[in-house]
Structure 1
Amino acid sequence: MLDYQKLRDGTGHVLAWLFSSLSIVACLSIIFYLFIRGFAQINPDFILTPPNPTLNQDMSGGISTPIAGTFLLTLTGILLAAPWALATAIYLAEYGGSQAMVQIFRLAIDVLAGVPTIVIAIFGLAIFSLPQLGFLSSMVEGVDGVERSFGRSFLVAGITMAIMILPFVIKICEEALKAVPNYYREAALSMGASKWQSIVTVVLPSARQGILTGIILGMGRIIGDTAIVWLTLGGTIRMTGIQPWWYPVHWWSTLCNTGSTLTSYIYFASPAGEGNMPDKAFGAALVLIILIIVLNIFTDLLERFGANKIKGN
């Protein structure tokens, strides 16, 4: 007699293996294709030379400022998002309980997570174009003498990026806090610590691996985004602040002006964008993929380290 239970189990196992293999093949195919097309561009000059706006691919320079812009925007966005997300996660995990207001907060976070990045980018551009927020970018003369904010800078893009990654970092941090055993909290309270003291001295240190994982994954989302970069950072491929932009006295000017990241450079250099430099676009794409892979490997190692530490205790 045919054993339907074994048949269902076997079919499910085969389908799971098949679709997992297809996902891996798709990922490796993209990486392999980028490696084939972009590896020839990878050299010290390409990494260390700033891009040059020209239609001649041989004279187009490298990607030093897009790399710097990627790190600058990622750092700005995560520094703004991490405290905000962690504070929200602490409230939801430690204080919220099952109150109606908490459910509204969770619904709002879920809705924000589902908003397309292009919508967030348009919202950011509309808000930061208001003249009252001109200190975050620069002021421009509008029609009929009406002043408006330019609404594009590293600060504007960083704030918009922080809003974009906020729900994902909140969710991961909240789950990390919930994973801390309750008897840790009870032990701290029994020693006379207040609830806030138990959170700061016991819960947060115990959940730090998960919190760091959420922060690193948020950084990965910032690195890979294009819509927000293009609309709120601008389409320039070089830093437009006071030069040399890397001098400490010019950092605020750099943050308040436009620039580029690897994603915007790839769009600019590709035939789909404003340029016709596909080889440079593939080289920049390969560098971007390498950065994302390194981040994911670091996240995996962090999780393994945390799991081994918990087992050791």
Structure 2
Amino acid sequence: MTAIQSPPPRQDRPRLRTDPSGSWRAWPLRDRILLGLCWAAGLFLIFVAAAITLYMAFKGIQFLRPNLLWTRPEAAIDQSKSGGFLDPMLGTLLIIVGALAIAAPLGIATAVWLTEYGKPTWLARMVESGVEVIAGTPAIVLALFGLAFFSQGGLGFLSTTGEGGAVFGRSLLICCTVLSLEALPMIVGATREGLMSTPRHVREASYALGKTRAATIHRVLLPTARPNIATGCALGMGRVAGDTAVVLLLGGGTLQLAANGSIPGLNTLQGTGSTLTTYVYANSPSGEGGAPEKAYAAAFLLLLLVLALNWAVDRIARGDGRLGWIR
């Protein structure tokens, strides 16, 4: 009877270090160099962001006075007589709210149609391409398009007009309409990401309970994607708040909010005005306003607004319970 021989002992092959928590000193030289470059890039970005924030904070706190927040700007050579930036603050808030009121429903509806329907396919591809084109179009190009489009005679009720019925194509309402195009791609992208990340079995469970597709979208998918929708809206508001070209060309460039029309509330949007960005541009050291100290104060206030939006985006993305009211 032949004895069964046991197999020879297996020699363990050398294993590659795959543990990400392992010491980087054992990595190949090329990987260590790349790791060092990644660290350097991250630290450089942190340094640039901290330098901008600290510099603007130093300048802004130095020149920011409480009376600047509730006094209206005036045209004057002497800074002490040129007033504050109450109207640019209100103009910024009107622009943000107005642009979001247009972009949010349109962006959410577009994302829902692309994700849940997407038929006919050729039309869905054209819509996706259109959103990408808008996202990559410079703001000055959108401003020129808005100026040419809203200067038509039939759209005179949206803007200021001159003698003989000439339509200027400039008003805060037109600014909101054009700036909504800048916020639209962010809302569409964030909403689509939230809808596509929802598991398929959630939809199937809703259908199994007898819910229609429309009811599933309204009662299941959109509530699930609320954090993503809020993130897209916050990013869109930051983009709108920081725009200068569109407001400069389409806002009229007036220091104070100038109403136009007879409908209360709407006449302010039909009139002209400015925002904090155009106020900073006009009163910067290289501008024509001659009030650089107030420009630094307004820039600091605008920076606080952008930082607040970024903070909200970060908390929403992490699902912080303290912002449950947003979700």
TM-score by length of 1: 0.90
1:135 aligned residue: 157
Contact 1:209 1:306 in 2 (8 A): no
Give the letter for the 1:288 counterpart. L
Shift of 1:57: 1.1
Between the aligned partners of 2:313 and 2:73, the Cα distance in structure 1 is: 31
Q: Is 2:183 the counterpart of 1:165?
A: yes
* Alpha-carbon distance in structure 1 between the residues aligned to 2:212 and 2:260: 50
Matched residue, 1:110? 132
- 1:306 Cα deviation (Å)? 6.0
Kept in 2: contact 1:242–1:250 (CA 8 A) = no
Matches within 5 A, 1:28-47: 28-47=50-69
**Correspondence 1:155 to 2:173:** yes
Q: Distance in 1 between matches of 2:317 and 2:43?
A: 23
Q: Distance in 1 between matches of 2:121 and 2:320?
A: 32
Matched residue, 1:219: 237
Q: 62-71 or 95-104, which moves further after superposition? A: 95-104
Once the two structures are superposed, residues 19-56 of structure 1 have per-residue CA deviations (whole angstroms, 9 ceiling, x without a partner) of 01111111111111112222122221011111111121
Does the 8 Å contact 1:136/1:155 carry over to 2?
A: yes
Sequence identity (%) = 38
- In the alignment of these two chains, the number of paired residues is 299
- For the pair 1:291 / 2:300, whether they are aligned, the reply is no
Residue 198 (1) aligns with residue 198 (2): no
1:1-313 superposed matches below 5 A: 6-96=28-118, 99-141=121-163, 147-241=165-259, 250-305=264-319
Distance 1:97 1:129 in 2: 35
Mapped to 1, the partners of 2:270 and 2:48 lie a distance apart of: 39
Q: Match for 1:274: what amino acid?
A: E
Q: Given residue 88 of structure 2, which amino acid in structure 1 is its aligned partner?
A: P
Structure with higher Rg: it is 2
CA distance in structure 1 between the partners assigned to 2:292 and 2:58 by the alignment: 13
Q: Distance in 2 between matches of 1:13 and 1:101?
A: 44
Report how far residue 6 of structure 1 moved: 2.4
For residues 157 and 52 of structure 2, what CA distance do their matches in structure 1 show?
41
Give the 3 Å change call, closer, same or farther, for CA 98–151 of structure 1 in structure 2: closer
Instruction: Write the letter of the residue equivalent to 2:44.
Output: L
Is the contact made by 1:169 and 1:215 (CA closer than 8 Å) also made in structure 2? yes
Question: Which structure dedicates a bigger proportion of its chain to helix?
Answer: 1
Amino acid at match of 2:107: A
User: Which runs of no fewer than 5 residues in structure 2 stay unpaired?
Assistant: 1-24
Counterpart in 1 of 2:21?
none
CA distance, structure 2, for counterparts of residue 124 and residue 156 of structure 1: 8
Distance 2:296 2:254 in 1: 19
- Please state whether the residue corresponding to 1:37 is helix, strand or coil: helix
Post-superposition CA distance 1:174-229 (Å, at most 9, x none): 11111111111111011111111111110000000100110111011000000001
Give, in angstroms, the shift of residue 8 of structure 1: 2.6
Contact kept in structure 1, 2:255 and 2:273, CA below 8 Å: yes
Distance verdict in 2 for CA 1:4–1:105, change over 3 Å:
farther
1:168 CA displacement: 2.0
**Partner of 2:195: helix, strand, or coil?**
helix
Structure 1: which 5+ residue stretches go unaligned?
Answer: none
Tell me if the contact between 2:64 and 2:294 (Cα under 8 Å) persists in the aligned partners: no
How has the CA–CA distance of structure 1 residues 291 and 271 changed in structure 2, closer, same or farther, with 3 Å as cutoff? same
Runs of 4+ in 1 over 3 A off after TM superposition: 306-309
The answer on whether the counterparts of 2:279 and 2:295 sit within 8 Å (CA) in structure 1 is: yes
- How far is the alpha carbon of 1:77 from its aligned partner? 0.4
TM-score (norm 2): 0.86
